[in-house]
Structure 1
Amino acid sequence: MLRGGTALGALAAFGLPQLAVGSANAATMEDWALPPDLEKAKVEGLEYASYGMPDTWANYGEVLQKLGAQLGIQIHHTDTDMSSLEEVTKYDAEKDNPVAITSDIGILFGPVADAKGVVPPYTPPNAARLPAGLKGPNGGWVATFTGVPTIITNTDVVKNPPKTWEDLLKPEYTGKVQSIDPSAGGATDVAFFLAWAYAFGGDENNFDGAVEYAKKLLGQFSAVSANGQTLEKGEVPIQLQCDYNAIAAAKRLKDKGISSDVVVPGVSIYAHYAIMANKYNLAKMNIAKLMLDFVLSDEGQTAFARFGAHPIRVALGDLTLPDDAKANWLPDSMYAQVKNIPDWSKVSLQRIAEVWQSQVAGG
C-alpha cells in the first residue's frame, strides 16, 4: 500500500493521470502510449539499472530513493558509467536484451537518441512545463537540470589554485590538468569546449577562440585518468567538472581533511542535462514512465538542487526553491558571467567533434 493513502492519491503527488488497468500479458511497444501501471512499477522498481547516472551524479541516488518512497518500495540501484554517446549506442546494441532503464545525457544527445530510435514515444505529464527543445519531440527524454563548467583544485597539492581559464596555461600547472576530448561523446567535455568558445570571443557557432585556447591547453593535460581518487591523491589535482559535481567532490575531500577550491573561471555556460528512457526495456516501462515524470516534480527538482545542481524548472522560472535547498550552491557572484546558449538545436555535435579532431588534436 502506498504511503499516505490510496494509489490514486500517490499519483496526484506525481502529477500523473489515473492508472492504466494492468494485465498479465507481456508489455509491447504499443504500451508506451498508456499511462503507467503503478502496481507493475512497484515490482519493476525493486531492481533499477541505469547507465551514466550513478547515485553521486547530481543526487540521482536520493531522487530514486524518493521515488521509491512514493511507491512504498526500496529501489536497489546499480549503474554503469559511460558517456552520453555510449549510452545511446548501448541501448541500440542491447535492443534484444536490454539492461538499463534510464540514462543521464547531455541535452545535445537527445536528438541523437531520437535519430537512433532508442527512446520511447512517451511524454510524462510534467513535461508540459518544458518548452520545445528541452524534451523529446515525440517523448522519451526530458531536461532535468543545468551544470556550469568549473575548475576544482586539490589545494593541499596545488597551493595557488587557478581562478581563470587563462590561469590553466601557467607553467606551474603543466601535467596537472584533467584532459578532455569533446569528440569522444561525453556531454561534460562538450560543455567545456562550448564554454571556451564563449570565453574567447565566440559562441555556439564560432569556435575559433576555443580552438586556439584548447591547442595551448593540450600541453597542460595530465596523462592520468581524472576521477575522485586521483583528485584526492593529487595525481590529477586540477579537474574540470560541472559545478554540481565539483561541489560534491569538494565535500568528499573536506570529509577526509583535504582542502580544495572550486571556481567558475569567468565566462562559462549553462549546460543542460536530461534523462532518457530505454525504449527496448519493455519489462521496466512503468517505472521508467514514473521516473521521467518524477525528475520534473517539485520533490525531484528540489533533490537536484540540494546536491548543488540548478534544476531546469528553476532556470525556466517555474519553481521557487526554499533557501535551504540552495545551501550547497556556489555564490551567485560566481555566475555573473555565465551565458545561456539561446538555441541548443543549432549546436552541432558532429561539427564540434570534427573541429576538435582536425584543428586541436591534429592541429
Structure 2
Amino acid sequence: MTTFSLSRRALLQASLLGSAATLLPSISFAATMEDWALPVDIEAARLEAEVYTSYGMPATWANYGEVMERMAATYNFTYTHHDTDMSSMEEILKFDAERNNPVGISGDIGILFGPVAEARGVVPNYLPPNADKLPASLKSATGGWVATFTGVPAIIVNTDVVKNVPRSWEDLLKPEYTGLISAVDASGMGGTQMATFIAWAYAFGGSATDLAPGAEFARKLVPQMAGGSSTSLTMERGEVPIQIKYDFNCIAQAAALKEKGINCEVIIPQGTIYAPSAIQVNRYNLEKMNIAKLMLDFVLSDEAQIAFAKFGARPIRWVLGDLELPAEARTSWLPDELYKDVIQVEDWSAIDVSALAQYWVDNVVNG
C-alpha cells in the first residue's frame, strides 16, 4: 500500500488530477446508475481498489490511513491511495465538475454538507448495511453519505508563548489575546468553521436554530483574530499560538509539537458541541462503485470505528452508545470529565447550510 496526500485544505492541482486519471484500472463491465442498487461485488471491489482517489481524507485525517489498511486486510486487496485536500464544499463541487470524467471515489465532509451533496446530486441512492446502526439524522435519507466520527470544537494553545491560558470561549475576548487567535469563517465552505459557529450559539444561550448569541460573540471575537493561517507551523513559531480546531486535530497537533519540545494545551470549552463528520461517495464514478459501497459500509464497522478512536476522534457509534471501545483505543483521548458538558445537537438535518452561511455574512461579516 502506498499513500500520496497533499496537506488538508490545500488547493487542487490540475496536474495531479491528470496523472491520477491515467492510473485508473480498467473494469471488465460497464456499470450503470441502476447498479448502485445492487449489493457490493467484492471481487470487483478488489480490482477497483488498486488505485483509490479521495478528496479531503488523507491518511493522517482522523486515521483514515489505518481505516484503509484494515479494510484492505479484511477483504484481501492491495491499493494505492491518492488524496487531495479540500473543504467539504470544494469536494461536492469537484464531484459535480468531474461528472463526465470522474476521478474521486469518496470524501470526508462535515455532516452539514450531506444534504448539500444530495441536493447537488453528486451522491448515489445507496445506503450500506451498516447504516442501520445510525439514526435518520446521521445518514442520508436516500443514500450516499453516513456519519463516521465526531469532532468537538476546541482550543489549542502554545503555552511556551501564551502563559495565561484561556479556559473558555469568553476568555478569548481578553485584550491580551488580540492578534493571537486563528480566524474562523463560517461563510459556507468548511464544516469545522460552521460547527464552531454553532458551538458559540449554544455556549451563549442559543442553539442551532437560534444563532444570534453566537453571532454576537463572533462579532466581538473577529478583532481578536490573527491574520496568519491555522497550521502547526504557525503554532510552532508562535505566530498564531491560539487555534480553534476539532479536538482530535488539537490532540494530534499537541503530540507532534511535543516531539519538537514545544508545549501545548488543549481546552474543551464549556458549551461546545459534538459535531459529526461524514463520508460521501461519488455517484458519477461508476467504475469504482463497488469499492465506494464497501468504504461507505466499512467506516461504520467495529474495526474502522476503533481506528478513528485511536486517533482521538470519538467514533459516532460510541457517541450513540452502540460501541464498546478497548482501553488501548482511548489512550490518546483527553479525560472524559472534560467532555461532561459537551452538547449533542438533536437534529443536524434541521440545519440549512446556506441559511447558516448567510446568517454569518449578514450578522458577523456585515453586522
Please, what TM-score do these two structures have when normalized by structure 2?
A: 0.90
**After TM superposition, what 4+ stretches of structure 1 lie above 3 angstroms from structure 2?**
none
Q: Shift of the alpha carbon at 1:252?
A: 0.7
Alpha-carbon distance in structure 2 between the residues aligned to 1:33 and 1:82 = 28
Q: Does 1:45 align with 2:49?
A: yes
CA-to-aligned-CA distance 1:123-174 (integer Å, 9 cap, x gap): 1111111111211111111110111100011112222221110111111211
Q: Which runs of 5+ in 1 are unaligned?
A: 1-22
Question: 2:125 aligned to 121, 127, 134, which one?
Answer: 121
Q: Shift of the alpha carbon at 1:33?
A: 1.3
Residue identity over aligned pairs, in percent, reads 58
Alignment CA distance shift 1:266-1:64 (3 Å): same
Aligned to 1:14: none
Which AA in structure 2 matches 1:273? S
Q: Secondary structure at the match of 1:262?
A: strand
Q: Does 1:259 align with 2:263?
A: yes
Q: Shift of the alpha carbon at 1:233?
A: 1.9
Q: Shift of the alpha carbon at 1:49?
A: 1.1
Alpha-carbon distance in structure 2 between the residues aligned to 1:130 and 1:91 = 25
Q: Shift of the alpha carbon at 1:184?
A: 3.1
Query: RMSD of the alignment, in Å?
Result: 1.3
Alpha-carbon distance in structure 1 between the residues aligned to 2:356 and 2:108 = 20
Q: Shift of the alpha carbon at 1:225?
A: 1.3
Aligned to 2:7: none
Q: Shift of the alpha carbon at 1:242?
A: 0.6
CA-to-aligned-CA distance 1:309-361 (integer Å, 9 cap, x gap): 11111111111111221111111111121111111122122222111111111
Alpha-carbon distance in structure 2 between the residues aligned to 1:286 and 1:262 = 40
Alpha-carbon distance in structure 2 between the residues aligned to 1:228 and 1:29 = 42
Aligned to 1:358: 362
Which AA in structure 1 matches 2:112? L
Q: Shift of the alpha carbon at 1:75?
A: 2.6
Aligned to 2:136: 132
1:324-339 paired onto structure 2 within 5 Å: 324-339=328-343
1:153-168 paired onto structure 2 within 5 Å: 153-168=157-172
Aligned to 1:88: 92
Alpha-carbon distance in structure 1 between the residues aligned to 2:364 and 2:134 = 36
1:183-222 paired onto structure 2 within 5 Å: 183-222=187-226
Asked if the contact 1:65/1:75 (under 8 Å) is kept, the reply is no
Asked if the contact 2:46/2:78 (under 8 Å) is kept, the reply is no
1:278-297 paired onto structure 2 within 5 Å: 278-297=282-301
Q: Shift of the alpha carbon at 1:232?
A: 1.9
Question: 1:142 aligned to 146, 171, 182, which one?
Answer: 146
Which AA in structure 1 matches 2:195? A
Q: Does 1:239 align with 2:239?
A: no
Alignment CA distance shift 1:78-1:24 (3 Å): closer
Structure 1 range deviating more: 230-239 or 192-201:
230-239
Alpha-carbon distance in structure 2 between the residues aligned to 1:316 and 1:279 = 28
Which AA in structure 2 matches 1:309? A
Which AA in structure 2 matches 1:269? I
Structure 1 range deviating more: 203-212 or 186-195:
203-212
Q: Shift of the alpha carbon at 1:273?
A: 1.0
Aligned to 1:7: none
Alpha-carbon distance in structure 2 between the residues aligned to 1:91 and 1:38 = 24
Alpha-carbon distance in structure 2 between the residues aligned to 1:300 and 1:48 = 17
Asked if the contact 2:188/2:354 (under 8 Å) is kept, the reply is no
Asked if the contact 1:99/1:281 (under 8 Å) is kept, the reply is yes
